[in-house]
Amino acid sequence: MNAGVHVERLQLRARAARIGALRSALDTADWPQAGEAIVIVRRLSARAATPQAIAARATAQLAQQLREAVAADSPLAAHAPAVRFASAAALYAQLALDLYRGRAAHCWYWARWHHWLALPVPQAIASVLGSEPLQLAAITAELERHAALASLWQALSPPAAARLAAELAAASALPAVTAPIAQHIDPATVPLNADALPPALLRRWRAPCHGLPADDARVRLALQLVLLEWRPALLHDAAVCAALLQRLAPPEPPAGAAPRPVPPPTADAEEAATAVHTRDVAPPVRPTAAPNGQATVADAVTTSPPSAAPRAVPASTPPPEHHSARPAPPTAAVDAALDAIPASPVTPRAATASPASRRAGAETAVSATAPAPPAPAPTATVAASFAASVASAELLSDYGGTLYLLNVLNDGRLQQALGGACGIDLRSGWHWLLSLASTLGLTAGDALYRWLQARWQAHHACAEDWQPRPDDAPVVALAARLCGPRLWTPELIAGPGRLRWTPTHLDLQRPLGCVSLAVRRAGLDIDPGWLPWLGRVVHFHYLERWP
């Protein structure tokens, strides 16, 4: 059986002498793949004369159920034999929504979570939201997609929100928003303009925070999620947090004063984007339930890919003057780190991706399909960038190894040279990833380059194209020294890859043939996991069957 498959109940009916053979046939069967989604199957049943025939019938039946699985938000889901969720975040969001609407107990597919169904609704919702703290931003984005975030958020009690904030702080190793709120904040003392908050995130959280005081635990938790998705290092800055809290939950105007003007809504990603960096992928299928035997009954969980969402094309505008005024990285610290590294580390040369893999990547690489419009305003670009990341989406790249450089950036020596998370935030982790990758050959025409550039634009609330800076050179030199001259070549990042993302997670898929012993020995293709300075959980997956 494949990893990630959960069978609630398995019944095997056969002679005792054949039970072992039947289990073996089920374990070695070619179960259908469903990708990244989660599918819950109510029942599988197969009957045949031989264990191999039972396994064949069960896999065929499972493939059919996966093809016919009903979306969990469909009115038909409660009576469907199989229900599909686009992701784990979508599953938890739907469970919270069904609890809130009082229908969870009537849906057979929530039986595995029966321990939550008996709780009072507010407590049950808080338990669901806290089940995967690092997924919470993605769960709330799914709730926003269902137009249910505001009602569920205000149904939380402040103590429950405070507990969620503490759990999120523990999981992320970043502080919760607990600084006291000043009634009147001098803008000159705030190092960040509160208007720089990405409009899409502001739009997501304005309604849930409406009518709540800025010091309410739910508003603080909302800001904690905003900053984890946008600029995690700002959680260390009490003045910035205080200003942004009042942006999320502005104080009511005094009696008799003119009402606060409501800013016009910002265009969604679908309206702002004129080129697509992603594409839809037909959902392949993945093993879910191990059937039981000659007569089998099972509840199972499996996954399949969510449909891709459009991405906005970053605008091209001249860099503003203030951009060059950002503080430079601590080059003295970088030079010191360079001096501390041996000049000739013995590192095997990275293997180059096979020509077949390169051709596969080139054939499936995604390119823009519409002419670029006039450069939009920075607000529109940033809004489109964040709105497009609400749901899971994906892109294909010819430089799939680019995300290996996250492990280079996560090296303690390089982190120290950059000044830690707060130092990295000055230019953003996206900037440093682009800087290293472009040195190794990542081109502006690649979908991954454009996606990283959009992240960088959102970080700085600007619309200009990303450009390397002259004083990036010491950091690049340090990264090259850490990897060694045999590994620091364009082959390190070359080769096909598929990136799937949510507001909280980055999942890189690559063909199994791209695995390199040299890269593995250097530890660059091992899951980075949670990166506090980037605000993302990063996982690498290697597929034996590359589409």
pLDDT digits 0-9 by tens, 479-493: 999 999 999 999 999
Report how far residue 406's alpha carbon sits from residue 483's, in angstroms, rounded to the nearest whole number. Answer: 12
- Confidence (pTM): 0.75
Residue 17 has pLDDT above 90, yes or no: no
pLDDT by residue (tens digit) across 99-148? 999 999 999 999 999 999 999 999 999 999 999 999 999 999 999 999 99
C-alpha distance from residue 86 to each of 20, 39, 71, 110, 307 (Å): 35, 9, 8, 16, 8
Phi, psi for 89 (deg, rounded to 5): -60, -40
Residue 386 has pLDDT above 60, yes or no: no
- The mean pLDDT value for 237-259 works out to 78
User: Can you give the pLDDT at residue 184?
Assistant: 56
Band of pLDDT at residue 279, cut at 50, 70 and 90: very low
Helix, strand, coil percent content, the chain, rounded in steps of 5:
50, 10, 45
Band of pLDDT at residue 523, cut at 50, 70 and 90: very high
Structure tokens at 468: 């390397």
Report how far residue 225's alpha carbon sits from residue 21's, in angstroms, rounded to the nearest whole number. Answer: 50
User: Can you give the pLDDT at residue 190?
Assistant: 58
Cβ within 8 Å of residue 46, ≥6 positions away: 54, 55, 57, 58, 61, 291, 292, 294, 295, 296
Residue 310 has pLDDT above 90, yes or no: no
Residue type, 47: R
User: Can you give the pLDDT at residue 8?
Assistant: 73
- Mean pLDDT is lowest, of 35-39, 216-220, 433-437, for 35-39
- The mean pLDDT value for 305-309 works out to 36
User: Can you give the pLDDT at residue 293?
Assistant: 37
Listed residue (511, 241, 247, 487) closest to 357, CA to CA: 511
Structure tokens at 211: 């009518």
Whether residue 230 contacts residue 201, with contact meaning beta carbons closer than 8 Å, is answered with: yes
Question: In terms of pLDDT, which residue wins out, 253 or 37?
Answer: 37
- Mean pLDDT is lowest, of 2-6, 174-178, 377-381, for 377-381
- The mean pLDDT value for 510-536 works out to 96
Q: What is the DSSP string of 248-310?
A: HSPPPPPTTSPPPPPPPPPPPHHHH--S-S---------------SSS----EEE--PPPP--
User: Can you give the pLDDT at residue 168?
Assistant: 98
Report how far residue 23's alpha carbon sits from residue 19's, in angstroms, rounded to the nearest whole number. Answer: 6
Q: How far is CA 85 from the centre of its chain?
A: 16
Residue 222 has pLDDT above 80, yes or no: yes
pLDDT by residue (tens digit) across 281-304? 333 333 344 333 333 333 333 333
Structure tokens at 216: 């309410």
- The mean pLDDT value for 349-364 works out to 37
User: Can you give the pLDDT at residue 116?
Assistant: 95
- The mean pLDDT value for 158-163 works out to 96
Residue 327 has pLDDT above 90, yes or no: no
- The mean pLDDT value for 172-186 works out to 74
- The mean pLDDT value for 71-77 works out to 92
Report how far residue 446's alpha carbon sits from residue 266's, in angstroms, rounded to the nearest whole number. Answer: 27
Band of pLDDT at residue 428, cut at 50, 70 and 90: very high
Q: What is the DSSP string of 231-249?
A: -GGGGG-HHHHHHHHHHHS
Q: How far is CA 184 from the centre of its chain?
A: 36
Report how far residue 190's alpha carbon sits from residue 243's, in angstroms, rounded to the nearest whole number. Answer: 7
Structure tokens at 120: 């009072």
Phi, psi for 227 (deg, rounded to 5): -70, -35
- The mean pLDDT value for 318-345 works out to 43
User: Can you give the pLDDT at residue 19?
Assistant: 85
**Bridge partners, residue 540, by sequence:** 508
Residue type, 461: A
Report how far residue 280's alpha carbon sits from residue 283's, in angstroms, rounded to the nearest whole number. Answer: 9
- The mean pLDDT value for 26-41 works out to 83
Residue type, 455: R
Of these ranges, 181-190, 238-247, 499-508, the one predicted with the greatest mean pLDDT is: 499-508
Band of pLDDT at residue 519, cut at 50, 70 and 90: very high
- The mean pLDDT value for 6-24 works out to 80
Listed residue (466, 213, 515) closest to 352, CA to CA: 515
Cβ within 8 Å of residue 498, ≥6 positions away: 394, 395, 396, 397, 400, 508, 509, 510
Sign of CA dihedral 421, 129, 122, 206: positive
User: Can you give the pLDDT at residue 253?
Assistant: 65
Report how far residue 312's alpha carbon sits from residue 309's, in angstroms, rounded to the nearest whole number. Answer: 10
**Cβ atoms within 10 A of the Cβ of 392, count?**
25
What percent of the chain stands above pLDDT 90? 54
Report how far residue 278's alpha carbon sits from residue 12's, in angstroms, rounded to the nearest whole number. Answer: 44
- Mean pLDDT is lowest, of 38-42, 193-197, 401-405, for 193-197
**Cβ atoms within 10 A of the Cβ of 175, count?**
14
User: Can you give the pLDDT at residue 308?
Assistant: 35
User: Can you give the pLDDT at residue 46?
Assistant: 87
- Mean pLDDT is lowest, of 14-28, 227-241, 242-256, 488-502, for 242-256
Report how far residue 492's alpha carbon sits from residue 500's, in angstroms, rounded to the nearest whole number. Answer: 20
Whether residue 274 contacts residue 373, with contact meaning beta carbons closer than 8 Å, is answered with: yes
Structure tokens at 472: 């990036």
Structure tokens at 149: 């975030």
Report how far residue 348's alpha carbon sits from residue 457's, in angstroms, rounded to the nearest whole number. Answer: 36
Q: What angle do CA 374, 380, 382 make, to 5 degrees?
A: 115
Report how far residue 300's alpha carbon sits from residue 228's, in angstroms, rounded to the nearest whole number. Answer: 33
User: Can you give the pLDDT at residue 255?
Assistant: 60
Tokens 């507010």 — which residue? 122
Across 52-76, b (16+ Cβ under 10 Å) vs e yields eebbbbbbebbbebbeebbebbeee
**Bridge partners, residue 85, by sequence:** 38
What percent of the chain stands above pLDDT 70? 70
User: Can you give the pLDDT at residue 350?
Assistant: 36
